[in-house]
Structure 1
């Protein structure tokens, strides 16, 4: 449920804004001269103004520059829009220039506009999954299928996020949500073609992803530490554990201080479980030894230590995913099959084919697991009986 708002009034003093007012988009009425036009040539637009009085007015206090709400009217005289209708609100269409070149490319080869929208809606899981600009141009697209939804129920506790570029002619980031299945093979739960990498865009993507999966929350999310993604996670996944990629941290540690000794010490703190007091002592000794007290990178990692140190993450189920290497491998594979000249239809079709191949490999693994047995240790091994039992229950 929701409504759209618009800016109504702004006042400045010496060039500085000190008062602003926002109103409901249904505020006011259409002017009479536009209602009765005898020589009208175009069909009139539908009337949306209902005289709604909902509004918010804020002022900046002169003494301390604090903004204060002076007027807040929350009662509307019209119905709120449903969740499926939120995409049509003017406020939700106010996004930066999206991907209009994609639609033009498909249109240039003779595909009708209605067919373009139907195709994108089908891949996205419905028209409510498509975000449009205020000029009805395509901005963000998220798509998955029923198989991904079912597998998310079984394997969606730990997911890695990553973006890749240079996969399409529009040079827009392709966002991949992936995890591992019961064979410890990489599995993709969804894709998103985004207009940019901001908190707003990432938040939209996470909301759509969760809505597709009945708001089943994630236990652990693994990322490369992107600040915009961290902001989106705090807003949409506050209860999930955010874990930083160990591979990226190791690489950045070497960049911060080009000394193998420092990198080795940092990796030890990242992978080894210590009591918190011992960990802090070792961290301080490492910083003092290499005289990195003024290093901004080290100060940041100390603040974020609960997102990478085994001391604080010990016992957390991560499905053996400590890095985003699965994402990097997937990106490499996609870049081999995705050509920059592809139109949107060709782009999505190529990705679907890659996912189909991935699922075919999973079926092969299932077959091997069900119809074959692993090679067991020598007959004299005292634990052989337990190996035999495990071979029947585990893949």
Structure 2
């Protein structure tokens, strides 16, 4: 069973009725709201868990009834609590075998069919006028079978339920939703995106629930229950359809949520599994850490690639991250994703993943005459243009020369060129997450753990393995950067400076630029008027894989502010200065990289503690949940510090042992 408490600030105890309230027992509590709607249909409804919320009393009944039919038992209303205003404020739904019938004085009384079954849910009306499940018991004291479900009366009398809508328009709502262990959200009615008829897939043409196999829903439930026990800040959100079946799902652990605080400036959304029709329709939110390694920032499962589903997922993820959107979000080229991003992240810069676009070239253009020449021309326009006007001219020349004016895919690419062509992205900091050179690829976070044929149960088993492997790589890289010196290939001042500050992985990448300074054979001033001086740096570069040519790179330098800007844009693309800018600094006698070009996200001396630090004030020491969460946060800080060296580890173990002995002594005195 899920947590027996709700983390919402509203009281959820099942207290006795007040003087102005009264209770009604039995099925009469539902008599006025049940309508004829046929037998329930649908597969794998989620089990009820504490914290689920619904718009109405009837919705709770409908949801529990769907679950009951799937499991093979009937439902009846055990109790309904009313205020004197005849407003319902609390209810209890039980298995139809709950309790016992009253003894009859008839000569031939009917045999007892009830068993006193404890299975039930309790729910109550909260201050936000939504009904929340506050207590759950899933175990029965009798055999249940899905086959027998069709014989229960409750499965043929059912009120049509709806889903509650999650409004994320205010900080208050974000804070409130963040405190839920489990919530049910839907994005319908949260604003729409104007689109042309037929441009996107409609949700009515898609399945309205996840395609789950037998036992998948229970596997999700069990796995998430386990995670909540070991991670008190584990966050997940479920979206149920009108039949109570799982439609969309999002989750994120504490480490991912904290990592977003450090590395959430640029986020990529990987929808490969969803687009390529994997058995697991996974969507991953990915960032990059201080070593340039991928870091997971959350996951979701979607029933379909519709605007509604993507918008729901983005809102769920944004809620998990306390309403703080990224500065840049990277996705595949997809009208559905573009509409959802525009709706949920209107202030973020939306980039399209260049490598994934170029991977489609053989499929989209492979059948054309002179394909090899067309591809070479496309590469030249995309990768080697230094200014927008140069790209425009090269693109137009390609379109005209090869007669591609009416090619639909190329037209669509050109319409979106400001979102994926590197020459238009030079002013956007991308932290190395958007490869901008030929033959660079984007690897999925779950490469090696997930393929088209991996089942959901297998994925849940491998999910932890992937996270642990990623965590281990980060820990090893931390140890290498802090404890072992970086083997410098040169004695360049710039390299010596950053070797004291940056992690080794980033230094290796920067070292390529230091070595590249030697291929810059000419650095000359071409304009010296005013404060800004213009330099032309010439370099031998490789073009088309095996041909080299001399290119000139314009670099602007402002001595008073120690500012340097190269036309290649590498600093914003990768997060470190290029060889052309370094050459200009060197020519001007600058021996250290100016501080504005030393990026803190790459530093190895920044302490990063993967412990979630809520900013909602102090704790209530009378609340056991608050005590647990606060102690967990404190002990995780100790763990983070204790793991950094063998000496610290031994001191930590000794200190913890002393604490336990002290606590045992205190308990013995009580």
**Is structure 2 residue 245 aligned with structure 1 residue 137?**
yes
Residue 253 of structure 1, aligned match among 361, 364, 375: 361
- The correspondence of residues 29-40 of structure 1 with structure 2, limited to 5 A, is none
Mapping for residues 72-221 of structure 1, pairs under 5 Å: 81=130, 84=177, 87=184, 96-99=207-210, 101=212, 104-105=215-216, 118=225, 129-165=237-273, 171-221=279-329
Cα distance between partner residues in 2 of 1:318 and 1:212: 23
Tell me how far apart the structure 2 counterparts of residues 275 and 90 of structure 1 sit (CA, whole Å): 41
- Pair 1:46–1:266, CA change in 2 (3 A): farther
1:121–1:130 Cα contact (<8 Å) kept: no
CA RMSD of aligned residues (A): 3.9
Conserved in 1, the CA contact under 8 Å of 2:235 and 2:251?
no
Is there any run of 5+ residues in structure 1 with no aligned partner, and where? 1-24, 27-40, 52-77
Partner residue, 1:350: 462
Q: Distance in 1 between matches of 2:238 and 2:223?
A: 12
Task: Report if aligned partners of 1:219, 1:241 keep a CA contact under 8 Å in 2.
Answer: yes
**Structure 1 residues 340, 320: closer, same or farther in 2, change over 3 A?**
closer
1:295–1:47 distance in 2 versus 1, CA, 3 Å: farther
Which of 332, 340, 365 is equivalent to 2:447? Answer: 332
The number of residues matched between the two structures is 316
- Closer, same or farther in 2 for the Cα pair 1:334/1:327, shift >3 Å? farther
1:244 and 1:307 in contact (8 A); partners too: yes
Q: Tell me if the contact between 1:141 and 1:194 (Cα under 8 Å) persists in the aligned partners.
A: yes
Correspondence for 1:271 among 383, 386, 394 = 383
The separation in 2 between residues aligned to 1:89 and 1:204, in whole angstroms, is 6
In the TM superposition, residue 145 of structure 1 has moved relative to its aligned partner by 1.1
Residue by residue over 1:105-135, the C-alpha shift from the partner in whole angstroms, topping out at 9 and shown as x without a partner, is 565xxx8x98687458778967871212223
1:377, 1:328 → 2: CA distance? 29
Give me the whole-angstrom Cα distance separating, in 1, the residues matched to 2:213 and 2:410.
Answer: 42
Match of 1:375 in 2: 487
Whole-Å Cα distance in 1 between the matches of residues 252 and 502 of structure 2?
Answer: 29
Q: 2-side partners of 1:242 and 1:105: how far apart?
A: 34
Mapped contact 2:418–2:425 kept (Cα < 8 A): yes
Structure 1 residues 119 and 228, CA gap change in structure 2 (3 angstroms): farther
CA distance in 2, matches of 1:326, 1:146: 29
Q: Provide closer, same or farther for how the CA distance between residues 352 and 284 of structure 1 changes in structure 2, counting only shifts above 3 A.
A: same
Q: 1:298 aligns to what?
A: 410
Q: Summarize deviations over 1:45-98 as a string: whole Å, max 9, x none.
A: 9799x99xxxxxxxxxxxxxxxxxxxxxxxxxx965585497278979x99542
Q: Which has the larger radius of gyration?
A: 2
- The structure whose RCO (Cα within 8 Å, separation 6+) is larger is 1
Against the structure 1 CA distance between its residues 114 and 105, is the aligned structure 2 distance closer, same or farther, given a 3 Å change threshold?
closer
Shift of 1:339: 7.2
Q: In the superposition, relative to structure 1, how do residues 130 and 124 fare at CA in structure 2: closer, same or farther (>3 Å)?
A: farther
Partners of 1:273 and 1:314 within 8 A in 2? no
1: CA distance between counterparts of 2:496 and 2:478? 19
CA–CA distance in structure 2, aligned partners of residues 185 and 90 of structure 1: 33
Cα pair 1:202 1:229 within 8 Å, conserved: yes
